[in-house]
């Protein structure tokens, strides 16, 4: 997690980086356009959004019962279920499993939950050779950074950056041809798929009724990761539940357009136990780690529990005017964009995540685009209030708001002070505004002697009166 004071530094860097903003703009524009085309083709899209929201509410209405049923059905299907209170415990479960099974090499498919618990450094520290196999994740692993988008991990890199990275890290001749770069990754990773002892994946959905879970992807890397090694470990946040696999089509129908602008994702893997007894191939053991890491506290919070309905599609990122300017790294954690701005303080505490909810213009586009109908702007406001009430804001902001609120309830004093400021303003030469370092770097501060809201409002009222 990025330290709060570094957030400003990252944002400033991002705003100066025209290449980053162009790359983010290009990718998100395309995703927004493709999503919108598919939504337009689906006249019952709004009904779908309502329905998947309802299904998620239903399954999380009684989370204890849903999880106990899910666990029992998983065990009946031959899945080993583990529970982890927090990130450290989840990491330890996986590291211990690897040691117990004498695992040397691990292939991983894309999983935001493993990013959340910072699994890779723990595996590497334990001496386990670990390979990300999703192309974007493989690129950021080679770069030594973290993903900058929920579904497009290497969004911040151009093909030229990736060409130079492959040249340096893989010792190949420089190329910026995307197809050639992919062929290099495909060849390298194919060797790892065939020789890995363990495959690790995330979970997109977990079906209570059947005790099965779903892993969705486009590259086929997830299938290869979970079907060739003898051990499959999946990690899921406890909120990933859906009532039943018969409800899955509704989620699939909203996920693919929202995530990648596709009608359907290329591969939907449903895992209901080790496949050895069915096909003499695939994992002999399937382990599922159910992670809390603060989720049960969020579920207990009636006004914010809806944030756990997120299916990590990234649609809110693509449409967000703030994300499009600063990119994903500025948020400083595994989750970014509007939904990340709500999850960061919820998972990491109001103090650590105090800037995140302010990385939003509250324009509401995130809600309009969210396939799960999560009221993100409302949750951001709730969090902003809590952060302000907890006193985790900057001193200057607290003092400023105190002065303003004192004036706002005293209209005469307010008029007197602003009138005084207008007179002082006229003394500043060259029609300049008041000096406000920082504030005016990316925006203009209006002149105090210009016609303000109050007098404009009064004028319009007078005009209306006169018109009657």
Of 190-219, which residues contact another protein (CB under 8 A)? 190, 193-194, 207, 210-212, 218-219
Chain residues 424-443 in contact with another protein, contact rule CB under 8 A: none
Q: How far is the CB of 129 from another protein (least distance, A)?
A: 18
- By CB under 8 A, is residue 171 in contact with another protein? no
- Does 235 help bind another protein (rule: CB under 8 A)? no
Note whether 188 binds another protein by CB under 8 A: no
Does 186 help bind another protein (rule: CB under 8 A)?
Answer: yes
Write out the binding residues for another protein, residues 397-426 only, by CB under 8 A: none
Kindly state the smallest distance separating residue 146's Cβ from another protein, in Å.
15
Task: Work out whether 142 is an interface residue with another protein (CB under 8 A).
Answer: no
The reply to whether 79 sits near another protein by the rule CB under 8 A is no
DSSP of 361-422: ---SHHHHH-TT---HHHHHHHHHHHHHHTT-S-HHHHHHHHHHHHHHT-HHHHHHHHHHHH
Radius of gyration of the chain (CA): 25
Q: Which candidate, 369, 392, 372, 388, places its Cα nearest to that of 380?
A: 388
Closer Cβ to another protein, 37 or 397, answer by number = 37
Q: Which of 447, 453, 455 is nearest to 426 (CA)?
A: 447
Distance of CA 355 to the CA centre of its chain: 15
Residue 298 near residue 191, CB atoms below 8 Å: no
Nearer to another protein, 377 or 448 (CB): 377
3-state secondary structure (DSSP) of residue 355: coil
Contacts of residue 429, defined as CB under 8 A and 6 or more positions apart, other chains included, come to none
Q: Is 136 in the site for another protein (CB under 8 A)?
A: yes
Query: What are the C-alpha distances in Å from 255 to residues 207, 251, 260, 268?
Result: 16, 6, 8, 12
The minimum distance between CB 241 and another protein, in angstroms, equals 11
Q: Looking at 141, 227, 258, 342, which residue binds another protein (CB under 8 A)?
A: 227
Q: What is the spatial distance between Cα 318 and Cα 315, in angstroms, rounded to a whole number?
A: 5
Write out the binding residues for another protein, residues 244-303 only, by CB under 8 A.
245-246, 248-250, 252-253, 260, 262-273, 275, 278-282, 290, 292, 296-297, 299-300, 302
- Asked whether the CA dihedral 375, 212, 293, 233 is positive or negative, the reply is negative
Interacting positions 340-369 with another protein (CB under 8 A): none
Going by C-alpha positions, the residue among 283, 290, 271, 266 that lies closest to residue 106 is: 283
Site residues (CB under 8 A) for another protein, limited to 43-62: 43-44, 47-48, 50-51, 53-54, 57, 60-62
- Minimum CB separation of residue 10 from another protein in Å reads 22
**298 vs 350 by CB, closer to another protein:** 298
Q: Which is nearer to another protein, 7 or 337 (CB)?
A: 337
Q: Which is nearer to another protein, 267 or 434 (by Cβ)?
A: 267
Stretch that binds another protein, among 94-102, 180-188, 332-340, 434-442 (CB under 8 A): 180-188
Position among 162, 208, 242, 336 found at the interface with another protein (CB under 8 A): 162
- Applying CB under 8 A, does 69 fall inside the site for another protein? no
Number of shown-chain residues binding another protein (CB under 8 A): 96
Q: What is d(CA 88, CA 118) in angstroms, rounded to the nearest whole number?
A: 9
Q: Which residues contact 176 (CB under 8 A, 6 or more apart)?
A: 159, 160, 162, 163
Contact between 178 and another protein per CB under 8 A: yes
DSSP-derived 3-state class of residue 285: strand
Report which of 107, 145, 158 is spatially closest to residue 128, judged by C-alpha positions: 107
**Of positions 1, 15, 27, 75, contacts another protein by CB under 8 A:** 27
Tokens representing residue 50 in the block: 């309502």
What minimum distance in Å lies between the beta carbon of 344 and another protein? 22
Pattern of binders to another protein over 88-117, x per CB under 8 A? -x----------------------------
Of 155-163, 322-330, 390-398, 433-441: span binding another protein (CB under 8 A): 155-163
**Could you tell me which residues come within 8 angstroms of residue 242 by beta carbon, excluding any fewer than 6 positions away?**
55, 56, 59, 205, 206, 207, 208, 248, 251
Find the binding residues for another protein in span 114-133 (CB under 8 A). 133
Task: Please state whether 362 falls in left (phi above 0), alpha (psi between -120 and 50) or beta.
Answer: left
Work out the end-to-end distance of the chain between its first and last CA atoms, rounded to an integer number of angstroms: 60
What is the helix, strand, coil percentage profile of the chain, to 5? 60, 10, 30
**Residue 397 in contact with residue 403, Cβ under 8 Å?**
no
Q: Is 145 in the site for another protein (CB under 8 A)?
A: no
Closest to another protein by CB, 43 or 466? 43
Closest CB 147 distance from another protein, rounded Å: 10
Contact segment (CB under 8 A) with another protein among 21-29, 331-339, 440-448, 456-464 equals: 21-29
Instruction: Say whether residue 228 binds another protein (CB under 8 A).
Output: yes
């Amino acid at each position: 997690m990025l330290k709060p004071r570094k957030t400003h530094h990252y944002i400033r860097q991002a705003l100066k980086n025209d290449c980053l903003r162009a790359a983010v703009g290009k990718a998100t524009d395309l995703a927004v356009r493709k999503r919108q085309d598919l939504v337009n083709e689906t006249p019952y899209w709004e009904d779908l959004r309502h329905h998947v929201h309802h299904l998620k509410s239903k399954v999380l209405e009684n989370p204890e019962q849903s999880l106990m049923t899910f666990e029992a059905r998983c065990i009946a299907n031959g899945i080993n279920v583990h529970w982890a209170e927090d990130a450290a415990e989840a990491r330890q479960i996986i590291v211990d499993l690897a040691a117990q099974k004498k695992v040397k090499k691990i292939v991983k498919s894309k999983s935001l939950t493993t990013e959340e618990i910072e699994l890779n450094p723990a595996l590497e520290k334990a001496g386990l050779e670990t390979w990300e196999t999703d192309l974007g994740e493989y690129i950021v692993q080679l770069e030594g950074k973290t993903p900058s988008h929920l579904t497009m991990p290497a969004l911040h890199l151009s093909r030229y950056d990736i060409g130079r990275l492959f040249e340096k890290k893989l010792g190949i001749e420089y190329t910026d041809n995307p197809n050639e770069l992919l062929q290099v990754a495909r060849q390298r990773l194919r060797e790892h798929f065939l020789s890995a002892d363990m495959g690790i994946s995330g979970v997109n959905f977990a079906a209570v009724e059947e005790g099965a879970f779903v892993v969705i992807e486009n590259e086929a890397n997830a299938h290869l990761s979970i079907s060739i090694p003898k051990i499959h470990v999946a990690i899921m946040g406890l909120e990933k539940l859906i009532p039943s696999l018969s409800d899955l089509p509704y989620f699939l129908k909203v996920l693919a357009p929202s995530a990648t602008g596709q009608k359907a994702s290329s591969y939907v893997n449903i895992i209901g136990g080790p496949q050895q007894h069915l096909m003499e191939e695939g994992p002999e053991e399937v382990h599922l780690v159910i992670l809390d890491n603060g989720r049960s506290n969020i579920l207990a919070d009636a006004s914010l529990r809806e944030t756990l309905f997120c299916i990590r599609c990234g649609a809110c990122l693509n449409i967000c005017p703030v994300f499009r300017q600063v990119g994903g790294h500025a948020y400083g954690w595994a989750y970014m964009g509007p939904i990340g701005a709500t999850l960061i303080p919820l998972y990491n505490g109001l103090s650590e995540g105090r800037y995140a909810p302010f990385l939003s213009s509250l324009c509401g586009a995130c809600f309009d685009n969210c396939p799960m109908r999560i009221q993100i702007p409302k949750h951001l406001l709730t969090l902003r209030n809590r952060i302000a009430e907890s006193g985790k804001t900057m001193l200057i902001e607290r003092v400023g708001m105190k002065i303003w609120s004192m004036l706002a309830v005293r209209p005469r004093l307010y008029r007197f002070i602003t009138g005084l400021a207008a007179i002082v303003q006229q003394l500043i030469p060259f029609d300049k505004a008041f000096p406000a370092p920082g504030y005016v770097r990316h925006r203009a501060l209006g002149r105090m002697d210009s016609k303000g809201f109050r007098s404009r409002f009064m004028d319009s009222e007078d005009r209306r009166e006169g018109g009657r």
